[in-house]
Structure 1
Amino acid sequence: MVSKLALPLWFLIVNAVIFQAIWFLAILFGDSLVLLVVPFLLALNFYCLLRIYGQQVYLRNELLLVALCLLIGFFVELIKLQLGVWSAVVLNNVPPFWLMAIWAGFGITLHSSLSFLQGKVVLPAVLGLILAPASYFAGAKLSASHELAGFQSLFIIAALWFFVMPLLAYIAKQLPVQKTEGSQC
């Protein structure tokens, strides 16, 4: 069995920049046509993975991870909508596209810039507890149309991400991005 290759630093930086670009586009422009850039940014990330791993990449696992991240994100955002985390009224009580774009962007980081979380429970839980509320708080401050309902919203976000981050790290570990010797497609 071949050990997992370390991703090149340039890709870790590109991956983090792609996620941050998606985050800023979603926060600043909401459900506008600007979100049409997101699939191209995701495709750029997949292209870079193919360039690094060549035929040794499980691209379907990367796509599945993003899809699972979107699915989990959809339910997490539904819970937050039901608990009144956002003060702005969201049409039809369905998570907006801009939030789901952020979840898709987050999904591409789980095998790349956040891969160090795989195989751990405490670290992702603590990071989810601290960084997720900070991210939502920053996003609410930058967005002209969406704001948190109150300080209690940050506690709800922290509690949800305390469980979500380890779950996503676990799922990422179960879906390897690199083929090993003797593995089948």
Structure 2
Amino acid sequence: MRNAINFVAFQLVWFAAVGGAAHSLWWAGPAAFLVFAAYHLRRGVRARGDLRLMVLALGLGFVTDTLMAATGMSSYASAVPPAPLAPLWILSLWAGFAFTLNHSMHWLTARPLLVSPLAAIVGPLSYYGASRVWGAVTITAPLMHAVGLLGLCWLLSMAVLSLAARRFARAPDDSVAMPLMRSP
């Protein structure tokens, strides 16, 4: 049940971030992520590993989306901070995604040779959907160039994140006391 909640909560973060950006509400994604993070980290279970994954995912997301904006291959609606930096709303997606890797998406991280090529396809499709359906991202380069760069970034990012998730999940003491939060 917790994995189902984790999966649904991340989807809500995705819709808040992308839908919010499309409607000039740059803060909606980060706010939804903060609610997700508060719920997710309240138990303290695997919190240390999840926080490490989040920092790693934020770094990978920052590089990926800043690269896309700096090269002119894409532009982002509600870009706070402004281009060429990756906007906060898309970084909240990367951070939220990290919280799924040892939980609802654990089955993916156990198969890095499968998930990396899959991410090279699904990652760019997510951007394409955010572009075509929501208007939150505008792909300004020739589509195949942008999709190719995104696919490569997602392939490499998922390989790194999958290996890191497996490593962080094996940490001997992965719980961390969170102030004002108790385990049930």
TM interval, short-chain normalised: 0.7 to 0.9
**116-125 vs 151-160, greater mean Cα deviation:** 116-125
Matched residue SS, 2:139: coil
Q: Kindly indicate whether the alpha-carbon contact (under 8 Å) linking 1:125 and 1:165 is maintained by their aligned counterparts in 2.
A: yes
Deviation at 1:11, TM superposition (A): 1.4
Match of 2:95 among 100, 104, 118: 104
**Which structure: larger Rg?**
1
Q: Which has the higher helix share?
A: 1
2:114 is the alignment partner of 1:123? yes
Matched residue SS, 1:109: coil
Residue 32 of structure 1 is matched in structure 2 by: 26
Match of 1:84 among 64, 68, 72: 72
Q: Kindly indicate whether the alpha-carbon contact (under 8 Å) linking 1:69 and 1:107 is maintained by their aligned counterparts in 2.
A: yes
In structure 2, distance between residues paired with 1:105 and 1:123 = 21
In structure 1, distance between residues paired with 2:11 and 2:123 = 14
Match of 2:162 among 163, 169, 180: 169
For structure 2, the residue ranges without an aligned partner over 5 or more in a row are 177-184
Q: Kindly indicate whether the alpha-carbon contact (under 8 Å) linking 2:47 and 2:175 is maintained by their aligned counterparts in 1.
A: no
Superposition CA RMSD, Å = 2.5
Residue 44 of structure 1 is matched in structure 2 by: 39
Describe the superposition over 1:137-159 as per-residue Cα deviations: whole angstroms up to 9, x where unpaired: 11112333432124121121112
Supply the AA of the counterpart residue of 2:33.
V
With normalisation by structure 1, the TM-score equals 0.79
Q: Structure 1 vs Structure 2: percent identity of aligned residues?
A: 23
For structure 1, the residue ranges without an aligned partner over 5 or more in a row are 1-9
2:60 is the alignment partner of 1:72? yes
Residue 60 of structure 1 is matched in structure 2 by: 48
With normalisation by structure 2, the TM-score equals 0.79
**101-110 vs 58-67, greater mean Cα deviation:** 58-67
Q: Kindly indicate whether the alpha-carbon contact (under 8 Å) linking 2:124 and 2:150 is maintained by their aligned counterparts in 1.
A: yes
